[in-house]
Amino acid sequence: MEEKIKAKVMDARKIKRAMERMSTEILERNRELKNLVIVGIRTRGIYLGKRIAQLIAQAEKVKIPVGVLDITLYRDDFLELEAQHMVQKTEIDFSIDNKDVLLVDDVLFTGRTIRAAMDSLFDLGRARTIQLLVLIDRGHRELPIRADYVGKFLPTSKRERVQVHLEEVDGVDEVLITEPTEIE
């Protein structure tokens, strides 16, 4: 199945601006910065989380710890997958007990990834609050979940795919809408 690029909806400049806006919003909402920790969801959530931490460090001179969450073991579609996903390590080397956890992911879609991530966080400790940051909210929620910070609302059709590319992983910062071209 080939993917056809339909539109480039964000470039590096737009992503940067969205991140800066969201970090400002985070600062407004979280007075007790020392209590904030960031947990990025593998893979691109990690780098978005690190960028947020860096922006906050620049603005407030506070170092926010960033952890990595692998949600594979908590997926609800685990038994339906054609093949197992490679499990990778969850690397959170700080306690989340009584912390304000900022969960970071690239795209919010059905909400199931976030559900899995929250279940996973509950097994790791009792956070005081959990907030959610996503770069793209593309709609089509299947669970009652909503993000606290959104880089861009992007109405899509279910057939379409939203691909976030980041410098750290993909060598370029961009957000694309693609569509599978099926040959029938």
Partner 1 sequence: MIFNHKHLLGINQLTPEEIMTILDTAESFLEVSRREIKKVPTLRGRTIVNLFFEPSTRTRSSFELAAKRLSADILNFNLLASSVVKGESLKDTILNLEAMNIDALIVRHSASGAPHFISSFCKSHVINAGDGTHEHPTQALLDAFTLRQEKKHFSGLKIVIVGDLLHSRVARSNIILLRKLGAKVVGCGPPSLVPPEFKSLGMEINYNLDEAVERADAIMMLRLQLERQKKNFFPSLREYITHFSLTPQRFKRAKKEAIIMHPGPINRCVELSADLADSVHSVILKQVENGVAVRMAILYLLLGGKDRDATD
> Rounded to the nearest whole angstrom, what is the least distance from the CB of residue 49 to partner 1 in the complex?
19
Alpha-carbon span 40 to 106, nearest angstrom? 9
- The size of the interface with partner 1 (CB under 8 A), counted in residues, is 24
Alpha-carbon span 108 to 24, nearest angstrom? 20
H helices present in the chain, as ranges: 12-29, 44-60, 112-124, 167-170
> Rounded to the nearest whole angstrom, what is the least distance from the CB of residue 177 to partner 1 in the complex?
29
Contact status, residue 112 vs residue 126, Cβ threshold 8 Å: no
The yes or no reply on residue 74 touching partner 1 (CB under 8 A) is: yes
> Rounded to the nearest whole angstrom, what is the least distance from the CB of residue 56 to partner 1 in the complex?
27
Alpha-carbon span 131 to 114, nearest angstrom? 11
Q: Is 148 helix (H, G, I), strand (E, B) or coil?
A: coil
The yes or no reply on residue 86 touching partner 1 (CB under 8 A) is: yes
Give the range of 80-88, 105-113, 128-136, 172-180 binding partner 1 by CB under 8 A: 80-88
> Rounded to the nearest whole angstrom, what is the least distance from the CB of residue 52 to partner 1 in the complex?
24
Task: Give the x/- contact pattern for partner 1 in 87-126, rule: CB under 8 A.
Answer: xxxxx---------------------------xx--xxx-
Residue from 12, 81, 143, 169 touching partner 1 (CB under 8 A): that is: 81
Alpha-carbon span 180 to 110, nearest angstrom? 19
The yes or no reply on residue 143 touching partner 1 (CB under 8 A) is: no
The yes or no reply on residue 83 touching partner 1 (CB under 8 A) is: yes
Stated as kind and residue range, the H or E segment containing 133 is: strand 129-137
